[in-house]
Amino acid sequence: MEDDAPVIYGLEFQIHIIDFDDENNIINKNVLLHQVGEIWHISTSPADRGVLATCYNKPSDSKVLTCAAVWRMPKELEPGSHESPDDSSSTAHSLELLCHLDDTAHGSTACVTWEPTGDGKKVISLADNHILLWDLQESSGQAVLASSASLEGKGQLKFTSGRWSPHHAGTQVATASDTTVRGWDTRSMSQIYCIENAHGQLVRDLDFNPNKQYYLASCGDDCKVKFWDTRNVTEPVKTLEEHSHWVWSIRYNHSHDQLVLTGSSDSRVILSNMVSISSEPFGHLVDDDDLSDQEERRPEEKSQEPPRDGVIATYEEHEDSVYAADWSSADPWLFASLSYDGRLVINRVPRALKYHILL
């Protein structure tokens, strides 16, 4: 993650910016005050590393609503700034409020997802059974509701999570509600696919393969991780059943999409190799043409088999439910996980696997 790619996570009314010095194996921390309420979700702008959105609790008429807002962190704390964090400093910094995304008429906001490409001026918020597309105007100082759609059906349908696809020119978003996963076209806010009973229980998280179109991963309270081809959603293309409790988080590696990270209430983080459905299903094999006439290959090299799917490593440093796991945006071999007890753990992809992928 190094100095230009911090880990950002919320702790009650604070946001902690964690900088990891990989060379010296040192973690530094800065604190941002989030005085408007307890944080339940954070997402950062892909276009401006100093801008982030939070979903937070706010008391309202004898009940608690979850609202959303867009903020800017102080310039000196932005990733890539020349000033290094100072963990010994007890000074807490303040966030600058850019705009609110909440409209109480739509209910509580479950999450905010940013358009992965473009200028960072479009975000989608999921509020109860509404999917809302916002345009951020004037340096994100104002949010205009551009379009919206609603879930229709029996019962009190509510969104739990969503993810904006990096493919299809940024026109597709996937959402989870109860046990169902849906795809939406952001131009018309119409549904383009629906995976009913995607999981046997609540769907917790979604992520798109960053390098391969149409591939979507989901996880949920049935302890399963599933991979879908959104062109044919009758059956998942792959299913993992390695966790023993609810799976809260799933993330594809940004550079090497065969690497998939999951975090669960079983207190474990699992790193899996899903190479068969990755953008490089046969790995990086050396052709005979790449070798000179003087070089002779060993028999085992000539008959090298493609890598197989399976668990690479299981990490058990946490003692409580792991609610979040994510990859570094600067170092593709580095990842972090966060558990309910406030413990943040930073790990690396095993060296042997790293060189197997690269070489």
- Domains in the chain with CATH codes: 9-77+92-148 (2.130.10.10), 151-282+305-358 (2.130.10.10)
- The pLDDT-based confidence of 305 (bands split at 50, 70, 90) is low
Share of the chain above pLDDT 90, in %: 67
Q: For residue 334, what are its two tokens?
A: 């580095």
Q: What is the pLDDT of residues 205-214, one digit of tens each?
A: 999 999 999 9
Shortest CA distance to 272 belongs to which of 326, 233, 309? 309
93-102, 263-272, 278-287: range with lowest mean pLDDT: 278-287
Q: Distance between CA atoms of 157 and 162, rounded to whole angstroms? A: 14
Could you report the per-residue pLDDT of 328-357, keeping only the tens digit for each? Answer: 988 999 999 999 999 999 999 998 888 888
Q: Is the pLDDT at 59 greater than 90, yes or no? A: no
| pLDDT beyond 50 at 315 | yes
What digits encode the pLDDT tens for the residues 126-165?
999 999 999 998 777 889 999 999 998 777 789 999 999 9
Please tell me the pTM assigned to this model.
Answer: 0.86
Cβ 168 vs Cβ 160: under 8 Å? no
Is the pLDDT reported for residue 88 higher than 70?
no
Provide CB contacts within 8 A for 48, sequence distance 6+.
Answer: 120, 140
> What whole-number distance in Å separates Cα of residue 22 and Cα of residue 25?
5
Averaged pLDDT score across all residues of the chain: 87
pLDDT score, position 10: 55
Lowest mean pLDDT: which of 205-219, 232-246, 274-288, 312-326? 274-288
pLDDT beyond 60 at 217: yes
User: Which residues share a beta bridge with 142?
Assistant: 137
pLDDT value, residue 307 = 67
d(CA 199, CA 223) in angstroms, rounded, equals 9
Residue 284 predicted with pLDDT over 70: no
* pLDDT at residue 63 tops 90: no
Better-scored residue on pLDDT, 3 or 109 = 109
353 phi/psi in degrees, rounded to 5: -70, -40
What is the spatial distance between Cα 24 and Cα 98, in angstroms, rounded to a whole number?
36
Got the DSSP string for 262-312?
A: EEETTS-EEEEE-GGGSSSTT--PPPGGGS-TT----HHHHTPPPP--EEE
Q: Is the confidence at residue 299, as pLDDT, over 50?
A: no
User: How far is the C-alpha of 100 from the C-alpha of 12, rounded, in Å?
Assistant: 19
CB-based contacts of 227: which residues, under 8 Å, 6+ apart? Answer: 215, 216, 217, 236, 237, 238, 239, 274, 277
How much is the pLDDT for 288? 41
Judged against a pLDDT cut of 70, whether residue 293 lies above it is answered with no
